[in-house]
């Protein structure tokens, strides 16, 4: 890396960190949503197998 | 819920109508659970490689200096925002016309991810514009139409969440999704149709790229990472959606 965190680096690092934070936030939310469903319905239980299309 | 028939009975039905196999929430649920973790791992690897190459390997731009590295994230997120909306509209339309539940659930599963990619495109665009254009925001044709795309996503998500009956929510969502899809070509061609601050496309399929090869690599790697991330997340969300609708008793036994 030949550039410092001063100047342009602030914008670049901000963009990378914001992107990672947003994407990881979505993953965290989905894991929580998935687990809450798993807890209420039984872990890894598949949906009823007779459902229609 | 239930009845006495199992997956084998549905498999028997799909043997006569094979195109129905993956229109079944059961099969989709299992297939998504099987492939999504692998796609997520591939996305994580590509993100690490792409971010490393983008930050530390790619050379500085002779005009923009180091700040151009923001574009390694800005362009892929902007592309994903547009592509996911087109896919969302397609799935929502299919679900509406052919009454395919899984298709509508796919559309609903794409909305949040598409909205987040569009939001990221706007945020990273602002972070690039400040040192380059001297301002965080301009009411440029492309930025404005991308903001409208974000509002369309928010409209779809809000409308879908506001209607309790999921089937009615799917149909209402399909209307707004199909009406809004006209915005996507406007975003794409805005730099050609109007005189804007935005530059034209630098990477085009079938044509020689106007940027150096070592700069194209992080673009392509991060674009692939965003694609795989979106696929994995949409499949995970589809599983949540199927299970929640099943819990609500909305996936009824089909009379055959």
| Residue B1 confidence (pLDDT) | 37
| Residue B179 confidence (pLDDT) | 94
Q: B229 in contact with A at a CB cutoff of 8 Å? A: yes
| Residue B256 confidence (pLDDT) | 28
Ranges of chain B whose pLDDT falls below 70: 1-22, 200-210, 250-256
pTM of the predicted protein model:
0.84
User: Under an 8 A CB cutoff, do B116 and A23 touch?
Assistant: yes
pLDDT tens-digit readout, B67-124: 889 999 999 999 999 999 999 999 999 999 988 888 999 999 999 999 999 999 999 9
Q: What is the DSSP letter of B3?
A: -
Residue A52 pLDDT > 70: no
Q: What is B92-134 written as a DSSP string?
A: HHHHHHH--HHHHHHHHHHHHHHHHHHHHHHHHHHHHHHHHHS
Asked if B124 and A23 touch (Cβ cutoff 8 Å), the reply is: no
Closest CA to B71 of B97, B91, B50: B50
| Residue B66 confidence (pLDDT) | 84
Q: What part of B 144-163 touches A (C-beta under 8 Å)? A: none
Distance CA B95, CA B167 (A): 10
**What residues have CB less than 8 Å from B116, skipping those under 6 apart?**
A22, A23, A26
Q: B74 in contact with A at a CB cutoff of 8 Å? A: yes
Asked if B22 and B197 touch (Cβ cutoff 8 Å), the reply is: no
pLDDT tens-digit readout, B161-174: 999 888 899 999 99
| Residue A6 confidence (pLDDT) | 58
Task: Specify the long-range contacts of residues B206-210, CB closer than 8 Å, at least 24 apart.
Answer: none
Q: A52 in contact with B at a CB cutoff of 8 Å? A: yes
User: Under an 8 A CB cutoff, do A12 and B1 touch?
Assistant: no
């Amino acid at each position: 890396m030949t550039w410092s965190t001063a100047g342009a680096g602030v914008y670049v690092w901000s963009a990378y960190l914001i992107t990672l934070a947003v994407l990881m936030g979505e993953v965290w939310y989905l894991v929580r949503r998935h687990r809450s469903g798993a807890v209420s319905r039984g872990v890894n239980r598949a949906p009823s197998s007779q459902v229609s299309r | 819920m239930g009845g006495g028939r199992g997956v084998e009975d549905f498999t028997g039905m799909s043997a006569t109508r094979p195109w129905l196999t993956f229109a079944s929430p059961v099969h989709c649920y299992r297939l998504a659970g099987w492939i999504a973790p692998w796609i997520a791992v591939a996305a994580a690897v590509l993100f690490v490689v792409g971010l490393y190459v983008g930050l530390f390997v790619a050379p500085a731009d002779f005009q923009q200096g180091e700040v151009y590295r923001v574009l390694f994230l800005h362009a892929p997120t902007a592309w994903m925002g547009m592509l996911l909306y087109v896919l969302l509209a397609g799935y929502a339309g299919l679900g509406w016309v052919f009454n395919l539940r899984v298709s509508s659930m796919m559309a609903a599963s794409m909305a949040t991810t598409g909205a987040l990619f569009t939001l990221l495109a706007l945020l990273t665009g602002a972070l690039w514009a400040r040192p380059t254009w001297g301002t965080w925001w301009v009411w440029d044709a492309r930025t404005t139409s991308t903001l409208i795309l974000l509002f369309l996503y928010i409209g779809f998500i809000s409308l879908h969440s506001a209607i309790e009956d999921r089937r009615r929510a799917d149909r209402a969502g399909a209307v707004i999704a199909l009406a809004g899809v006209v915005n996507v070509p406007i975003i794409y061609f805005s730099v050609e149709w109007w005189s804007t601050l935005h530059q034209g496309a630098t990477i085009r399929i079938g044509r020689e790229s106007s940027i150096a090869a070592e700069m194209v690599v992080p673009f392509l790697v991060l674009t692939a990472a965003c694609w795989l991330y979106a696929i994995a997340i949409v499949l995970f969300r589809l599983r949540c959606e199927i299970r929640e609708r099943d819990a609500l008793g909305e996936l009824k036994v089909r009379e055959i």
